[in-house]
Structure 1
């Protein structure tokens, strides 16, 4: 790696660390780590990406990619960062029920274009997340039990590989690369465009119910048995939340320890209420926000943060959730535990997630998992020093029942073990595809970013 870099003479906009625009160009959503690549290209077309990658190959520079900055595993020092945030066009075709999205588009843009046609994408719990990074990592959201993962919706991708070549990839054109991209997450190139399937969904019966944190033992034990009764059209997660004294929160939730039940159901309001009855009977809610809602309001189910912040997160998948696993989780994150954790969450998986599309192959991790576990702690002083251990402790507590992980739920703690998300056969397949399209390791020598 040279210490002096000559800015390439190409059409893209390149930004150096001493440029006033540099801070905005590299700004991530998760601010735990400050990116400091040697150079940034603000791509405004696939041709910009291709030119930048060809130049990086000539210079021997590793290449990293950022759309929204929700997942950063290193500071990217010594690399060329390709920012795709300006490649954010979204085009919806209501006849074919598809959307073509740019490499930097967010789910909120797809939702805005799709919902007027009564269509919905398979997005995550937050519409602020980028479409491409979500789908490349598999992508699990409130409709995934009914329709599959985000990766299952991908019909076509346009990608610039390490040789600087733009490639249109689908089930018939370079099928191995197509299979690897759908779930393999990183190390193949820069996706500049993606075509995804949409579904005829315009409303949900869903939302969140906040229960007193002290009721979490009864709630979690009831929840683990209750989920077995749910149809694929229903999805749920439950989170132990330690909320800040934020005046923007409803007064009963400010500074409170609560158990947050999340629920999304495609059926009728009457059937949804009947499904929820066993959980509502466990304890008196602090706030019950479940009801009929337009799909466009899907963010309100989880109410994920929308402002950048420093966090330490960790996660795993579980093959089962026996009573002992719930007790182990409560011992490190439940009532009376002194911990810096903001959240310890269990997500119910299964349903269409575990069913690979007919005749298809992909690299989606965790299809056979029953639950996903996710822990999150803030990296603010004075708890920053103990936050990593707290998040790790949640995952370690349920280690006897763990089966792997989901690539999109591997934060800084998971950087060195991202490969453990896949089984041996899939990991070997991904390694072979990376070797074929990136033999010099241009995209494999820096931390993952999405």
Structure 2
């Protein structure tokens, strides 16, 4: 299945198989590191809370750490708009190199920030600055990589090829979680809280050099280049066709509503599931991280299958199955988790298999709804704003509502968002196999 992602029908495009494979690999490796850098913050949030906030009130410190997590998401729309516009003007490749370096800079800043005990509130301030940098980078990276992989993929296999995006995202998330398990198991709790949590941030910043070398050799998107060439030709005779403001607003709103349910579910079950089990069910941290690692291995295996099913059944059926699963199953899944690690493994595995249905084809689905001349700008704004509103706040809302004994309200929140998403997707036309050049 994974090999098919790299080799399916390369002759449908002009670029050589070797260059196309290398470009997909470079995009995926960079995406992996971006998400490793992004996720380790959530994974190590209990340690960051003790190190960079006032440790005298542990609950307040953790909530503050999660609030900074949400602040990073708040800057994603700006990053999406900024780098989405850049990607439409100077190309996807240049944009993806820039966002990767910015993310690495944020990780390095977190790694070297002195503790709260050393510099007081300035430690918290530096953390906020670092997360703002990462938010900018993350908004741009998501935007450019969604469009790039979809644009270099053969139309008949675009769902399968685009699954490489979330495959790399998930491997990066898995590495972050595995590192959390390893550091928790290898170091005494005092050492992990003192300096061990800094290791993954140093590692993420250093590995960016490898991704940079790979991305310098990427091809530019042919779909993008054809659009630029066509625009240049049309300006000599007539104005380039443009979508009306109303059409852009409606499409952007639909993308945001689609993203609402998918983002809350995704961040609840990928970045925060282990932390939830540790915080509210007193699960052993090492065991919780390990259970989450094994659940994410199942998820990684399921992602290409989700892309394949989207190419076979269509985009709408697999997406509607995802929404239905969490409308029906969110209460049983959250209620399944106790202080036993196997309960986290079972609940998270089930949730992630259904999430894979959407993750396997999301970049293709969203790219197929937007014409090339607007694609990264629209994705940049709509996706990033939706993630900031729904994804970035999910861990905080989960922590707050469960802490107040109102966990049921968080589950109802997920159900409502999934119902809205289902209604939106029901109105979409099926886009399986369409040519991106023909989208208007």
The answer to whether TM tops 0.5 is no
TM-score (norm 1): 0.27
- TM-score, normalisation: structure 2: 0.27
Q: Which has a greater percent of strand?
A: 1
